[in-house]
Structure 1
Amino acid sequence: MDFFVDDISVYTFNPMDKKENTWPFNQPFYFIINMVIGANFGGPKVDDDIFPKDFIVDYVSVYK
């Protein structure tokens, strides 16, 4: 499985051992695309003055 951002490969996931706990992609699944602000990634306090912001996804492609 290859991940691209702006046509640049940023990550490849291809484990040697493709069992259920390392390779779950042989069953149906879905994407969740969201913008999370805060929690452990945004620090203890998010400045509310930065809002509103846009989270724009141009497109998502899935190839099999």
Structure 2
Amino acid sequence: PEFPRTPNEDHRYIGQEYDLPSGSFSEDFHLYQFEWTDSLLVWSIDDVEFYRLTREEIEARTSYYPFDQPFYVILNLAIGGDFLGNQQPDESTPDRNEVIVDYVRIYQDTNKDPE
């Protein structure tokens, strides 16, 4: 995937789809993992790595690399956009969506000097 332009021309995004080997995400709890270092980003679901990006790969696509700076963590459910093309909601569209979170754990590498 490339970094398509967003409405704010100063920012770009990248993503990767992941399909469960069997079943659906709504059938059970799942472990979502994200490893973030100054030079590497790794995404996993249920201990299966499905995407990784190095700092060099990102810098080859854009001159902006913000991932060596402190960030806040946001956990949310974002619904919307143009994922269904031009389809409009109708009576068959579910009117309720939720994210049920059992727990959140954040680990910090204690071998690294805090900033």
| The two structures share one fold, judged by TM-score above 0.5 | yes
User: Partners in 2 of 1:42 and 1:32 — Cα distance?
Assistant: 25
Corresponding residue for residue 56 of structure 1: 100
List structure 1 segments (4+ residues) > 6 angstroms apart after TM superposition.
none
Quick check: which one's helix share is greater? 2
Flag structure 1 segments of 5+ consecutive residues without an equivalent: none
User: Partners in 2 of 1:53 and 1:6 — Cα distance?
Assistant: 22
Q: Considering only CA atoms, is the larger Rg found in Structure 1 or Structure 2? A: 2
Identity %: 31
Cα offset for 1:62? 4.5
Aligned residues: 63
**Cα-to-partner distance string for 1:25-48 (whole Å, 9 max, x where unaligned):** 221112333222231124442346
User: Partners in 2 of 1:14 and 1:8 — Cα distance?
Assistant: 18
Superposition CA RMSD, Å: 3.0
Relative to the length of structure 2, the TM-score reads 0.40
Relative to the length of structure 1, the TM-score reads 0.61
Retained in 1: the 8 A contact 2:42–2:49? yes
User: Partners in 1 of 2:106 and 2:90 — Cα distance?
Assistant: 34
Cα offset for 1:54? 1.8
Flag structure 2 segments of 5+ consecutive residues without an equivalent: 1-40, 110-115
